[in-house]
Structure formats: C-alpha cells, structure tokens
C-alpha cells in the first residue's frame, strides 16, 4: 500500500495517509448502508471483480498471455462451490474446504487448457481461450441431461453462505453494539481477501517469478535464451490465474446464493479484461482502480442516465446497460490507441523501484 | 578440475538446411577456454544460423556439439543457457518495458531458485537470494558502464547502452561461453573502442567469447583465432592475421573469383 | 442414409456461408497477420441492414419479385459493410500497425462490443424474424418422399457462394490489385518501395472482406430466417475456426475449411445423440435399463452441443497442425 504514496523522506505523512485509507475502508459499509444496503452489495461485487481482474492480471498483465475465456475459471469455482454446498446434491461442506477444492479444480482446468495451447502465438491463444470459455458455458448449460449435474439454464439455487460455527455471514448480527448486516460481513471478508491478493500480486511481480513472466511478455525468444523455461512459466501463470478465478467464483457463489450459466458469458470475460487494460496491464494498483471504476460505472450510470435522459428528452432513450457496454468498448479502443500503458503512469512503477533501492 | 580440458566447445559436421538452401554444411571447429574466437564471413554465410543451432533455437540436421566435456544436442534454448552458453542478438532483443536493472536481474533467473512460495512469503532464503540478485545486477551494470541509467526502461536507452546492457544481461547467467552476435553493429568508432576494452576485460575475468562481427578492425584487435564461413562452409580457420591473408577469404569477401559469382547467380 | 445425405446438404450450405466469412478473416490475416476480431460484427450489420431494406420494400408494396428484393437488400448491405470495414481499418488497425500484436486484437474486441450495441440500439435487442418472402421449396434428392431434400434457398446460397469465391480468386490472381495484395502480403515495406500504396491495398482488403461478409450476413438471415445483434460473435468465431482449419492466410484453405467445418458441424449435430446414446449400455446397468424402458433416447450429448464442434476442431487443429490443412507458414520467424 505504501507504494501508492510518495513516501520518500515523509514517513509520518505516509503513515497518516495509511490510517486515513484504513479508516475510510472500515467505515465505508456503514456509510453505504446509510444510503442503501444495495450499495454494499455493489461494493462487494466490485471487490469480486477486483479479485478476478487481479487473477487475470497475472496471465495478461504479467505474462502477456491474452486469455479471453478467463470467466470459465470463475464459473468452475462457482459451480464447484454450488455443487458441494447446496441442496442440489444435498452436500453441505464448509467453505474452507470447498474454496481450496474450487481453486484446485480451476487450476487443473487451467493446466489442461494451457498445456497444449501455450506454445501457440498470442493471438491464436486468445481465440482458443475464447473458444474454451464458450465450451465451458455450453456444457454448464446442457449438463442437466441425462444426469443432472449442473441443473442447466435454471442454475443452482439456495447455495450455502459462509459459516464458521454458528457465525453466519449472510445473517445480520450485532457485535459490540454495532449492527452488521450480511453484506457488511462479506464486505470485510472480501476486503481482507483483496488485500491478501494485492499483496500476493505485488510480491510476485517483484520477484524472480514475476520478472520471468515480464521477460516472456516482452520477448519470448530472448527470455528463453536467458535460461527461462518459458513453457513452465507460462503454465504457472495460467494455473495461478485460474486458481484465483476459482476462489473468486466460490465466493461469488456463496455471496449470491444462486448461480446460472448466464453469469459466465463471454461479455463477462471481456469486462474483466477491460478492467485490466483500463487500469494498465501489469500494474497492480492500476488494475484495482480499473476494476473499481468499471464495476461502479454501470451503477452510477443507472442512477444518472435514466433521470438525465428523462429531463432532456422526456423519455429514456438508452438503457444504462447499453451505455455501459459502449463505454467498455470505447475504453478498450481508446486505451489501446492513446494510452496503451493504462491509467496509472508507468512512472509510478519506476518510483517504486527507486524507493526500494533507497530503502535497501 | 585438474582434468579439465582446454577445449570448451567442439563442433563437428554441423549441417542445417532450410527448404532448398543449405545454410550450413559440415561445419566443425573448436573453441579453447579463455580465448576470443571470431566467426566471420560475408552476409548470408550462415553465421547467425550457426549461432541459432548452437543455442538450441534450431535443431541441426546433422553433426554434434560438445560443450564443457558433455554433448550439447537436442537441448532447448533455456537448457543451453543453463549449461553455460549465453548469447546476444544481432538486432538487440532487450525486455523493453523493464528497467536496465531488471533486464540484468532476469539474467540471474537461471542461477537462482526462488519459487512461487518464496516470492509470496519472502522467507529468509528468498530475501537473501533476491538481495544477491540485485547486488550482482548492479555490479554487472557498473562493469559494462550502464549503471548511471540503471532505472531507465531498456527501450529508452541510447543504442550503445542497449548493446552493452544486452552483454550484461548475458553475463548475469554466469556463462562459460559468451556468444555475441555483431555487438559493434551500428556503433561509432568511440563506442567500438570501448566495446573492445570491455571484451578484453570479460576475457580477462575468465569468460570465453564467441564473436560474430563485421567490423574487421575489432575482429583483428580482439580475436585470438577466427573461423571464416562462406555459403555455409568453413573456408578458413586460424589466427586472425593469417586468416586475413588467406586467398579464399579474400575472394569470398571481394567476390573477385568468377566461379563464386556464378555460384551467387 | 437419408439423414446422412440431408446433413451433408445442410452442412455444405452452412459451410458455404462459413467459407465466405472465413475469406474475410484469411484475407486480412494474409496481408497484415492480424485477426480482425470484429469481422463477425460486419456480417451481423450486413444481415441487419438487408433486413431493414427488405422489410421497407415489402412494406411499401414495391412491385418487385421476392428474389429482386433480397438482392436489393444485399446490394444496400454491401456498401454499408464496406464502409464499416473501412472505418474499422482506419480507426482501430492502421494506427496500431507495428504495435504489439495484442494491441489491435484488444481494440478489435472493443469495436465488436461497440458495433454490437450500436446495432442493438438501431435494431432492438429482440431477434428479428427475416421476412420469408422467398418460399422455401424442397427438392427431393432421392425417390423417397420422406427422404433428403435440398431447398431453392440452399441452392441459391451455394451458387452465390461459389460465384463469390470464384470472383475473389480471379481478383487476387488475375488483376493488378490482386498482385499488389499478394506483394504486400509477402513484404509490405518492399511492396511500398515498389510504388504500391500499402495503405490503400490494406484498406481495400478490409473493404472486400466486408463486402463478402455483407452477403454472408444476408444468406444467414435468409437461411435461418432470423437476425440478431449478437449473431456475429458466434458466426465469426466459427468462420475464424474454418480459416484456421484450412490454413489461415490461404484463400483456398478458407474455402475448404469452411465447407469442412459446416459438414463436421452438421454431421456432429446429426449423429452425436445417436453415438452417445447410453441405452446401448443398458445391458450393463440395471438402473439404465429401467430408464431406457421409458425413454429410449438417454443421450450423453445431444444436438444442443452443436456449437462445441467448431471450437473442438479449432483447438485440435491448432494443437496438432497449427498451419492448417493447406497452410505453409508454421512458426513465428525467430
């Protein structure tokens, strides 16, 4: 977190900044609940998107492998959770057992997809991953026959929330005199997970592994000539990205309580990709900002677009959903044309290095 | 170690064909430990192909390499690098969006071990290793004279710096043999002179060098022995001064020989 | 046997459409090694534009024979799509020529989304039922009255596709523009030095591909009787798979790949249910036997998996023969 602020020689200021951010994040759900519980749910979804975007960032941002079917791993994680913790099969395993299983299954899918295809050139890989994502979705949609595995298009409902003993994340409870609603509890849980994932991303990037990924992204031939086993490193990136997707999917399942193939369509993959691109491929903080912006944008649009159009034209011409998609599209195009490095300037990363150098 | 032979690399009967073009045929040579071995020849003579076959980018059609007493065949480029051959590229291939320092740090990859767990947990050994990588990289940047621009992105460095950064990156892999593909290409006289000094230093510090180069002044200045290729064949080998006077070499370069012209057409 | 013949006919019809769309991908790829991800949307715009024209003409009771009305629809769709194709090249691809390969792919994805949603604004989010002004007349291929048939529309699609492919081959191999295109494909900078206006040639390649796409859109619309703002994505992906199957960058390959993919898909959809019918195994499992007694078609995979075949073909080709059936260029130059 410190890297966001220019801390050189001003530790007190940095500490103050950190405290302010921490307090703001801690009281945020209370403020949002004041506006409407709905906004806490939206914030939780935004954090889930951050997690997804950070997982995809390992694949796309660090290793430079364009994965257009990333949502498939999210789907795998979500379905693993739903099947093992819902009345669908009558299984109700605790979440701390299922989440690792979901991550592992997603990881296996990642390796299965990656092993034969990673030697392909980047644009081919993109199309194959896209196809893979579609295959997964088609199977989810149809595997209700002859044996009902995924419950098909109607999806799986009444999925268990996270529970630790009697502490149920979906129920309102009172702790130290404060009332915590279900979404608020999930918010804190998600926030912790997010911080952990951010830390993992930052540490990976600034390590032997992360440098190897970035070397592959920059020039694969040169990377191999430097002794990097590009095949294994790419597979590792794929597997790690998939695992993050699987964990996020499991959390999505538990928080929503209901999943169906509808949630895992191609557009979702592209949305997560947009977040990574908008924020700046490979820039961890940029990706977080990109994910937050793009997840809140549609909700803010929903709030404003309708009324504004009503006021100007007397009726709603464009659905906020459509505007959102147009914005995604535009974001991808304009970013590539004018700012391929993303919102956050690369100077930031350079500064990080310098700070570390003066520190060490 | 006592039995370590003086030969570092021995090539025998190396052949490589691309479709109808015989890029290399029956090329053999040996490189001794501690020497600077030149590889010259007109454009299209097969020098870079030989480099690519040696470093595992292409598989040869025939022949064998023995490196450091062990056969070096059928290895992938990364395995060749692990065995101790590091190379640079004719058209510089740096990691453009990484800093100069990071470029060299990547070179340490093959000699270090930290995995995913070490990277995430940053346990003691991982931290020590990382510090070692950085120290070594800074040293190497100073060694080649790029240290003042250590934090610049590689793509923003001036040309001469990029060439030397590529050498530092290759040196970071602790090579026994450093293979340089036209390192002086595009350099002015001053830059070439400082490159020459650098090559002498590298050799003095114990690394054998294989050098492809068109700049004859540089070749004559640094190379102990020279191998001349033409049309994928070995036409001469020996001390630089002797090779320079070899009539076959002169005709290959000047194309004065009628039969050569016919072959070209 | 009749099912087989029928699936072949259906597959060839569909395959012709894939082939025409695949040509658009392969031409662009051949010349600038770029996957024009938005090509599927061009096809969609073609189908939608023709839809509007046909609806307008029939609505206005224009005294034209149905075939002429569809033809007018196609003739209007073509310039519209050519304009879209040109705009794509100018805004998204030309500025990124020479950029890392993934950059134009990402802009193309962005443009796909934009085109889709613009189309949705113009033509609503509902599937549009294509006016069936041409009555589909089945023609029996065998003596069996319940047997395989081919309709007049299918014949028209096949004939039109073959004519377009022929025209394209003539263009590429017989005209000056074709020579210029092949020269740019071989080596753009040398072609430029030889006095070829590279930008013009590349733009024309996009425009020609888009024109083919427009006609393909009209054909799909007339064949399935439906057009939808999202129809381009899947169609485009399948056509791209066809191009890869044939060997991307190779015109004959795109045609072959399209036809093959169409047939594979039709046969796959026609037979996968039968092939994976678990009732064959009912002798082994009692529970299965009981189920099969009430329903003799307990299939593992049904024809609803039709869309999977193209992707599986794509993955298999890329893994085992990345250069495709007729392609030559195997790997990246080192």
- Sorted by where each starts, the structural domains of chain A and their CATH numbers stand as 1-35 (no CATH), 36-359 (1.10.3470)
Q: What is the pLDDT of residues A155-213, one digit of tens each?
A: 888 898 888 877 777 777 777 777 778 788 889 999 999 999 999 999 999 999 999 99
Query: Nearest CA of chain A to the CA of B247: how many Å?
Result: 37
Parallel, antiparallel or unpaired: strands A167-168 and A173-175: unpaired
Positive or negative: CA dihedral C90, C96, C102, C106:
negative
Q: What is the mean pLDDT of residues C124-138?
A: 84
Q: What is the pLDDT of residue C193?
A: 84
**Greater confidence, A358 or C188?**
C188
Closest Cα in chain A, distance from residue B6 (Å)? 25
Which residue out of C332, C333, C334 would a mutagenesis test of the B interface target, given it has the greatest number of B Cβ atoms within 10 Å? C334
Q: Other CB atoms closer than 10 Å to residue B74's CB: what's the count?
A: 9
- Which chain C residues are within 8 Å of A329, Cβ to Cβ? 110-114, 117
| Contact (CB, 8 A) for C246 and C252 | yes
Tokens representing residue C20 in the block: 């025409």
Choose, out of A143, A146, A305, the residue to mutate when testing the contact with C (most C CBs < 10 Å): A146
CA distances from A192 to A30, A53, A247 (A): 17, 16, 14
Of B87, B97, B133, nearest to A225 by CB-CB distance is B87
- Taking residue B259's Cβ as centre, other Cβ atoms within 10 Å add up to 8
Exposed, middle or buried by CB within 10 Å (0-12, 13-18, 19+), for A151? buried
Nearest to C106 among A139, A141, A336 (CB): A336
- With the C-alpha atoms ordered C203, C209, C212, C217, is the resulting torsion angle positive or negative? negative
The HSE-up count of residue C331 (CA atoms within 13 Å, CB side) is 8
> φ and ψ at B234, to 5 degrees?
-80, 120
Q: Cβ separation of A117 and C95 shorter than 8 Å? A: no
Q: Fill in the DSSP letter of residue A156.
A: B
What span, in angstroms and rounded, lies between the C-alpha atoms of B208 and B170? Answer: 13
pTM above 0.90, yes or no: no
- Check: CB of residue C45 under 8 Å from CB of residue C119: yes
Question: Could you tell me which residue, A325 or B184, shows the higher pLDDT?
Answer: B184
How far CA C297 is from CA of A32, A147, A150, C277, in Å, comes to 54, 13, 20, 6
> Using one digit for the tens of pLDDT, what is the confidence trace for A259-306?
999 889 888 898 898 888 888 888 899 999 989 988 888 777 777 777
Q: Which residue out of A223, A227, A347, A360 would a mutagenesis test of the B interface target, given it has the greatest number of B Cβ atoms within 10 Å? A: A227
Residues of B in contact with C334 (CB under 8 A): 52, 57-58
CATH code, domain carrying C111: 1.10.3470
Contact C78, C208 (CB under 8 A): no
> How much is the pLDDT for B139?
95
- If one counts the domains in chain C, the total is 1
C chain contacts of residue A66, beta-carbon cutoff 8 Å: 102, 105-106
For C93-120, b where at least 16 C-beta lie within 10 A, e where not — what string?
beebeeebbbbbbbbbbbbbbbbbbbbb
Alpha carbon separation from B149 to B146, B155, B167, B168 (Å, rounded) = 6, 12, 15, 13
- Name the minimum distance, in Å, from the CA of C284 to any CA of chain A: 17
Check residue A356 and give its pLDDT.
46
Provide the domain limits for residue C104. 2-332
pLDDT band at residue C334 using 50, 70 and 90 as cut-offs: very low
C227: contact with A, CB 8 A cutoff: no
- Report the distance separating Cα A222 and Cα B156, nearest Å: 18
pLDDT on residue A62? 92
State the Cα–Cα distance between residues C153 and C134, nearest whole angstrom. Answer: 8
Taking an 8 Å cut-off on Cβ atoms, the answer to whether A68 and C109 are in contact is: yes
| A9 — pLDDT class (breaks 50, 70, 90) | low
- Work out the average pLDDT over A354-358: 45
Residue A265's SS3 state is coil
CB atoms within 10 A of CB C50: 31
What is the rounded CA–CA span in Å between residue C170 and residue B64? 50
| Angle, alpha carbons C101-C103-C109 (nearest 5°) | 110
> In sequence order, which residues have a C-beta less than 8 Å from that of residue A145 and are 6 or more positions away?
A152, C299, C302
List residues in chain B touching C: CB distance below 8 A: 52, 57-58
Which residue does chain C place closest to A116, by CA atoms?
C319
Paired residues of B179 in beta bridges: B87, B210
CA distance C16 to chain A (A): 22
Cβ–Cβ under 8 Å, residues C160 and C215: yes
Of residues A209, A222, A226, nearest to B116 (C-beta): A209
Q: Which run of H or of E encompasses B17?
A: strand B7-18
**Nearest residue of B to residue C333 by CA position?**
B57
Mean pLDDT of A221-228: 95
Cα angle for residues A38, A39, A42 (degrees, 5° grid): 95
3-class DSSP state of B63: strand
Worst-scoring range by mean pLDDT, A42-46, A255-259, C123-127, C296-300?
C296-300
Q: What percent of chain C has pLDDT over 90?
A: 39
Q: Which of B154-158, C9-13, C185-189 has the lowest mean pLDDT?
A: C185-189
DSSP character at residue C36 = -
Under 8 Å between Cβ of B54 and B65: yes
Q: Is C279 on the interface with A (CB under 8 A)?
A: no
Q: Which of A275, A290, A238 is nearest to A64 (CA)?
A: A238
Could A211 and B109 be called an inter-chain contact, meaning their C-beta atoms sit closer than 8 Å?
Answer: yes
What is the phi-psi region of residue A263: left when phi exceeds 0, alpha when psi lies from -120 to 50, beta otherwise?
alpha
Query: What integer is the mean pLDDT of C220-228?
Result: 89
When mean pLDDT is compared across A85-94, B126-135, C160-169, the lowest value belongs to: A85-94
Q: Which residues partner with C227 through β-bridges? A: C128
Provide the pLDDT for residue A326. Answer: 86
d(CA A355, CA B154): 19
Higher-pLDDT residue of A131, A358: A131
> Is residue B15 within 8 Å of residue B26, measured between CB atoms?
yes
Tokens matching residue C208: 């020609």
Say how far apart CA A145 and CA C20 lie, in whole Å: 35
Given a cut of 70, whether residue C332 has pLDDT beyond it is no
Which positions 315-334 of C are in contact with B (Cβ < 8 Å)? 334
Q: How far is A17 from chain C (nearest CA, A)?
A: 36
Residues 6+ apart with CB under 8 A from C196: C180, C183, C184
Q: Are strands B62-67 and B7-18 parallel, antiparallel or unpaired?
A: antiparallel
B182 touches B213 (CB < 8 A): yes
Backbone angles phi, psi at C143, to 5 degrees: -70, -20
What are the angstrom distances between the C-alpha of B154 and each of A88, B164, B192, C100, C260?
A: 55, 11, 20, 16, 48
- A226·B81 Cβ contact <8 A: yes
Residue spans of chain B under pLDDT 70: 1-4, 254-265
Alpha-carbon distance of A25 to A19, in angstroms, equals 10
Strand pairing report for B36-40 and B225-230: parallel
Question: CA B41 to CA B237: how far, in whole Å?
Answer: 11
Among partner residues A200, A228, A360, which is closest to B109 by beta-carbon distance?
A: A228
- Which residue in A211, A236, A360 is closest to B106 by CB distance? A211
Chain A environment of B134 (Cβ under 8 Å):
360
b vs e for A180-216, b when ≥16 Cβ sit within 10 Å of the residue's Cβ?
bbbbbbbbebbbebbeebbebbbbbbbbbbbbbbbbb
Residue C306: per-residue pLDDT: 79
pLDDT value for B1:
46
Which residue from A200, A210, A227 is facing B110, i.e. has the nearest CB? A227
Question: For residue A16, is the peptide bond before it cis, meaning its omega torsion is within 30 degrees of 0?
Answer: no
Would the CB atoms of C110 and A128 count as touching at under 8 Å?
A: no
In whole angstroms, what is the distance from residue C314 CA to residue C201 CA? 29
Give the dihedral of Cα atoms C117, C123, C125, C127; nearest 10 deg. -130
Which residues, 6 or more positions from A81, have their beta carbon under 8 angstroms from its beta carbon? A95, A98, A99, A102, A159, A249, A250, A253, A254
Q: How far is C126 from chain A (nearest CA, A)?
A: 14
Closest residue on chain B to A227 (Cα): B78
- Quote the tokens at residue C39: 């090509």
DSSP 3-state assignment of B180?
A: strand
Mean pLDDT of chain C: 86
> How far is residue C147 CA from its own chain's centroid?
28
């Amino acid at each position: 977190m410190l890297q966001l602020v220019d801390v050189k020689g001003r530790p007190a200021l940095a500490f103050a900044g950190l405290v302010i951010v921490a307090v703001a994040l801690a009281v945020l759900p209370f403020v949002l609940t004041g506006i409407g519980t709905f906004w806490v749910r939206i914030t939780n979804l935004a954090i889930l998107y951050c997690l997804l975007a950070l997982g995809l960032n390992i694949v796309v941002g660090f290793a430079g492998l364009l994965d257009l079917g990333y949502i498939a791993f999210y789907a795998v994680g979500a379905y693993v959770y739903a099947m093992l913790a819902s009345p669908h099969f009558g299984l109700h395993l605790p979440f701390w057992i299922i989440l690792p299983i979901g991550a592992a299954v997603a990881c296996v899918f990642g390796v299965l997809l990656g092993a034969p295809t990673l030697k392909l050139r980047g644009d081919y890989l993109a199309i194959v991953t896209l196809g893979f994502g579609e295959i997964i979705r088609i199977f989810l949609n149809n595997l209700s026959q002859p044996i009902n595995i995924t419950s098909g298009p109607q999806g799986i409902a009444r999925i268990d929330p996270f529970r630790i003993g009697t502490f149920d994340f979906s129920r309102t409870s009172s702790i130290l005199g404060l009332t915590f609603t279900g979404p608020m509890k999930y918010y804190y849980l998600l926030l912790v997970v997010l911080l952990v994932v951010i830390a993992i991303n930052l540490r990976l990037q600034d390590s032997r592994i992360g440098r190897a990924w970035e070397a592959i992204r920059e020039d694969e031939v040169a990377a191999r000539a430097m002794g990097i086993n590009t095949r294994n490193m790419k597979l590792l990136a794929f597997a790690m990205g998939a695992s993050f997707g699987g964990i996020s999917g499991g959390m999505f399942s538990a928080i929503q309580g209901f999943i169906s193939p509808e949630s895992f369509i191609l557009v979702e993959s592209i949305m997560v990709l947009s977040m990574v691109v908008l924020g700046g491929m490979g820039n961890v903080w940029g990706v977080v900002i990109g994910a937050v912006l793009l997840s809140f944008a549609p909700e803010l649009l929903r709030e404003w677009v309708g009324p504004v159009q009503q006021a100007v034209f007397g009726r709603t011409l464009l659905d906020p959903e459509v505007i959102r998609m147009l914005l995604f599209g535009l974001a991808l195009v304009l970013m590539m044309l004018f700012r391929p490095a993303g919102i956050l300037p690369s100077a930031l990363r350079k500064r990080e290095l310098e700070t570390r150098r003066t520190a060490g | 170690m006592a039995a370590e032979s003086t030969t570092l690399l021995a090539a025998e009967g190396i052949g490589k064909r691309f479709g109808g073009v015989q890029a290399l045929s029956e090329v053999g040579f040996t490189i001794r430990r501690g020497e600077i071995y030149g590889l010259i020849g007109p454009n299209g003579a097969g020098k870079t192909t030989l480099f690519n076959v040696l470093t595992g980018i292409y598989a040869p059609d025939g022949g064998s390499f023995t490196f450091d007493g062990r056969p070096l065949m059928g290895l992938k480029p990364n395995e060749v690098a692990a065995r101790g051959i590091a190379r640079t590229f004719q058209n510089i291939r740096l990691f453009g969006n990484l800093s100069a320092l990071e470029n060299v740090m990547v070179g340490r990859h093959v000699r270090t071990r930290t995995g995913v767990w070490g990277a995430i947990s940053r346990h003691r050994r991982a931290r020590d290793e990382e510090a070692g990588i950085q120290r070594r990289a800074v040293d190497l940047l100073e060694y080649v004279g790029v240290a003042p621009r250590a934090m610049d992105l590689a793509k923003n460095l001036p040309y001469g710096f990029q060439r030397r950064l590529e050498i530092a990156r290759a040196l970071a892999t602790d090579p026994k043999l450093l293979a340089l593909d036209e390192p002086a290409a595009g350099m002015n006289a001053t830059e070439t002179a400082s490159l020459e000094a650098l090559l002498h230093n590298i050799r003095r510090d114990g690394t054998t060098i294989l050098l492809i180069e068109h700049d004859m002044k540089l070749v004559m200045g640094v190379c102990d022995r020279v191998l001349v290729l033409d049309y994928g064949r070995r036409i001469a080998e020996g001390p630089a001064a002797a090779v320079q006077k070899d009539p076959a070499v002169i005709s290959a370069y000047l194309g004065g020989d009628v039969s050569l012209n016919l072959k070209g057409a | 046997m009749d099912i087989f013949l029928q699936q072949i006919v259906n597959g060839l019809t569909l395959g012709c459409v894939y082939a025409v769309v695949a040509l658009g991908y392969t031409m662009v790829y051949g010349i600038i090694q770029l996957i024009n991800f938005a090509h599927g949307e061009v096809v969609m715009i073609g189908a939608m534009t023709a839809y509007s024209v046909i609806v307008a003409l029939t609505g206005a009771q224009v005294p034209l024979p149905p075939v002429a009305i569809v033809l007018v629809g196609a003739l209007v769709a073509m310039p519209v799509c050519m304009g879209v194709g040109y705009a794509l090249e100018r805004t998204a691809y030309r500025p990124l020529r020479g950029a890392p390969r993934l950059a134009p792919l990402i802009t193309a994805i962005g443009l796909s989304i934009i085109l889709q949603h613009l189309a949705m604004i113009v033509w609503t989010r509902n599937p549009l039922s294509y006016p069936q002004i041409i009555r589909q007349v089945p023609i029996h291929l065998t003596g069996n009255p319940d047997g395989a048939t081919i309709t007049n529309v299918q014949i028209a699609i096949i004939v039109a596709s073959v004519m377009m492919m022929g025209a394209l081959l003539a263009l590429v191999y017989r005209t000056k523009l074709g020579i210029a295109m092949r020269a740019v494909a071989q080596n753009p900078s040398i072609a430029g030095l030889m006095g070829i206006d590279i930008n013009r040639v590349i733009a024309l390649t996009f425009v020609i591909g888009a024109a083919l796409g427009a006609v393909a859109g009209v054909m799909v619309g007339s064949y399935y009787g439906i057009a939808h703002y999202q129809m381009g994505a899947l169609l485009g992906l399948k056509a791209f798979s066809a191009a890869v199957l044939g060997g991307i960058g190779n015109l004959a390959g795109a045609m072959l790949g399209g036809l093959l993919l169409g047939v594979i898909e039709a046969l796959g959809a026609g037979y996968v249910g039968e092939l994976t019918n678990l009732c064959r195994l009912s002798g082994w499992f009692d529970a299965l036997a009981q189920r099969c007694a009430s329903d003799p078609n307990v299939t593992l995979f049904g024809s609803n998996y039709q869309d999977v075949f193209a992707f599986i073909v794509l993955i298999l080709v890329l893994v085992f023969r990345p250069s495709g059936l007729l392609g030559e260029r195997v790997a990246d130059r080192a």
